[in-house]
Structure 1
């Protein structure tokens, strides 16, 4: 009987440790999700700025300086 109680106690301790590890993993996953979203948003912003820069270059090539100026101010 005493052995069973000791085993149950050990099992409860292990379950507690596992619960803590799972919570730590969940927290890390959430942090990684947030970081991924930030990187994704930064990438989108960079793509938008690159597209604007390309449009500015095209406008300058076409001597459309008013459009180039407008796009530059947008940038």
Structure 2
């Protein structure tokens, strides 16, 4: 037999009847069902715990949202940094190609200068030796170079 007593009836019952019910149903679960005050306290405790859990979960969600926002900002700054590094790398590659072409041109000019100097030296040597045909030939080559 289970008897439900609401909170309002509990206050209207005489204490002798409440003692009788306690003796009649000594087990805690029966006591919980009969005496609504204890159930009410349990419900309040459960409600407080549930509310605390909900509050904790809301705090966790806010904290996670804050952390997610920080992560998004970090990722955006990383992306911006990567794009800046990419732009700098591209500019460096263009500059490297330009320097490579310039150094290639300088090497070619240096080689031509070396050839001209060698021809001039051969012309002077041929004139010194009195070999004017050879000197004329080297002069012709110097004009072509």
Report the TM-score when normalising by structure 2. Answer: 0.51
Residue 19 of structure 1, aligned match among 86, 106, 114: 86
The separation in 1 between residues aligned to 2:128 and 2:71, in whole angstroms, is 84
Give the count of matched residue pairs: 75
User: Which residue number corresponds to residue 71 of structure 2?
Assistant: 4
In structure 2, distance between residues paired with 1:61 and 1:45: 24
Larger radius of gyration: 2
Instruction: Give the gaps of 5 or more residues in structure 1.
Output: none
Relative contact order, CA 8 A, sep 6+: which one is greater?
Answer: 1
- 1:39 aligned residue: 106
For the aligned residues, what is the CA RMSD?
Answer: 0.7
Unaligned runs of 5+ in 2: 1-67
Number of the residue aligned with 1:72 = 139
Choose from 119, 126, 130 the match for 1:59.
126
